Amino acid sequence: MTSPFTENEITRKLTEVLEYDFRVSPAEATHTQIYKALSKIVVNYLKEKRSMFMTDCNSKGRKQVYYLSMEFLMGRSLKTNLYNLGMQDEVAKALKKLDVKIEHIYEEEPDAGLGNGGLGRLAACYLDGLATCAFPATGYSILYEYGIFKQRIIDGWQTELPDDWLPGGRAWLVPVPDQAIEVHFDGEIYEKWEQNYHSVSHVNYKTVNAVPYDMYVSGYDSKGVSKLRLWSAESMSFDMNMFNQGDYAKAIGANNIAHSLTKVLYPNDNHLEGKALRLRQQYFMSAASVGDIVMRHMNVYGTLENLHEKVAIHINDTHPTLAIPELMRILLDDCGYDWDKAWNIITNTFDYTNHTVMAEALETWDVDLMQRILPRIYAIIVEINNRYCAHLMEVTGGDSEKVTRMSIILDNRVKMANLCCAASSSVNGVSKLHSEIIKDSVFHDQYTVTPDAFKNVTNGIAYRRWLLSSNQGLTNLLTECIGDGFKKDASKLADFKKFATDKSVLDKLAAVKLANKQAFAKYVYNTTGTKLNCNGIFDVQVKRLHEYKRQQLNAMNIIADYIYLLNNPDADFVPKTYIFASKAAPGYYMAKQIIKMIWCIGEELKKNPKLNEKLAVVFLEDYKVTLSEILMPASEISEQISLAGTEASGTGNMKLMLNGALTMGTYDGANVEIHEAVGDDNIFIFGMSTPEVNQLKAEGYNPEKIYNSHAVIKSVLEKMYKGINGATFEEVANSLRHADRYMCFADFDSYRGTQAKASETYKDKYLWNKMSLINIASAGIFSADRAVTDYARDIWKLI
Ligand SMILES: *Cc1c(COP(=O)(O)O)cnc(C)c1O
Residue pLDDT, tens place only, 286-333: 999 999 999 999 999 999 999 999 999 999 999 999 999 999 999 999
The residue nearest atom 3 of ligand 1, judged by CA position, is 118
- For range 569-596, the mean pLDDT: 98
- For range 382-389, the mean pLDDT: 98
pLDDT of 235: 83
- Label residue 253 by pLDDT band (50, 70, 90): low
Active site residue ranges: 355, 543-544, 549, 651, 655
Which residues does 357 contact at the CB level (< 8 Å), separation at least 6? 434, 437, 438, 441, 442, 645, 646, 648
The pLDDT tens digits of the residues spanning 329-363 come to: 999 999 999 999 999 999 999 999 999 999 988 99
pLDDT of 195: 77
Which residues does 51 contact at the CB level (< 8 Å), separation at least 6? none
Indicate the average pLDDT of the chain: 97
Pocket lining: 596 vs ligand 1, CB cutoff 6 Å? no
Q: Going by DSSP bridges, is the β-strand pair 206-218/174-175 parallel, antiparallel, or unpaired?
A: antiparallel
C-alpha 323/C-alpha 439 separation (Å) is 24
C-alpha 784/C-alpha 126 separation (Å) is 6
- Label residue 239 by pLDDT band (50, 70, 90): low
Pocket lining: 454 vs ligand 1, CB cutoff 6 Å? no
User: For the chain, how far is it from start to end, CA to CA, in angstroms?
Assistant: 26
AA letter at 415: K
Contacts 24+ apart (CB under 8 A), 701-707: 701/740, 701/743, 701/746, 703/736, 703/737, 703/738, 703/739, 703/740, 703/743, 703/745, 703/746, 704/737, 704/738, 706/745, 706/746, 706/748, 707/736, 707/737, 707/745
* Three-state DSSP state, 742: coil
The residue nearest atom 5 of ligand 1, judged by CA position, is 652
Q: Indicate whether 217 pLDDT > 90.
A: yes
Q: Indicate whether 247 pLDDT > 80.
A: no
Residue 658 CA to ligand 1 center (angstroms) comes to 14
The pLDDT tens digits of the residues spanning 463-504 come to: 999 999 999 999 999 999 999 999 999 999 999 999 999 999
The residue nearest atom 6 of ligand 1, judged by CA position, is 652
What dotted CATH number matches 1-62+70-266?
A: 3.40.50.2000
The pLDDT tens digits of the residues spanning 162-212 come to: 999 999 999 999 999 999 999 999 999 998 877 777 789 999 999 999 999
CA 104-110-116 angle, 5° bins: 140
Which of 544, 627, 637 for mutating ligand 1's site (highest number of atoms within 8 Å of CB)? Answer: 544
The CA–CA distances, whole Å, from 599 to 462, 603, 641 equal: 31, 6, 19
- In this chain, the answer to whether the domains covering 1-62+70-266 and 470-784 adopt an identical fold is yes
Pure H helices in 262-407: 276-301, 307-310, 323-329, 339-347, 367-373, 375-395, 400-406
The string of DSSP letters for 452-466 reads GGEEE----B-HHHH
Nearest-atom index, ligand 1, CA of 118 = 4
CATH superfamily membership of 470-784: Glycogen Phosphorylase B; (3.40.50.2000)
Q: Indicate whether 255 pLDDT > 90.
A: no
Q: Indicate whether 420 pLDDT > 70.
A: yes
Pocket lining: 118 vs ligand 1, CB cutoff 6 Å? yes
Residue 122 CA to ligand 1 center (angstroms) comes to 9
Nearest-atom index, ligand 1, CA of 624 = 13
The pLDDT tens digits of the residues spanning 33-89 come to: 999 999 999 999 999 999 999 999 999 999 999 999 999 999 999 999 999 999 999
pLDDT of 128: 98
Using alpha carbons, select from 263, 284, 233 the residue that is nearest to residue 145: 263
Burial 732-758 (b: 16+ CB within 10 A, else e): bbebbbeebebbbbbbbeebbebbeeb
- Domain borders along the chain are 1-62+70-266, 470-784
pLDDT of 776: 99
The pLDDT tens digits of the residues spanning 168-180 come to: 999 999 999 999 9
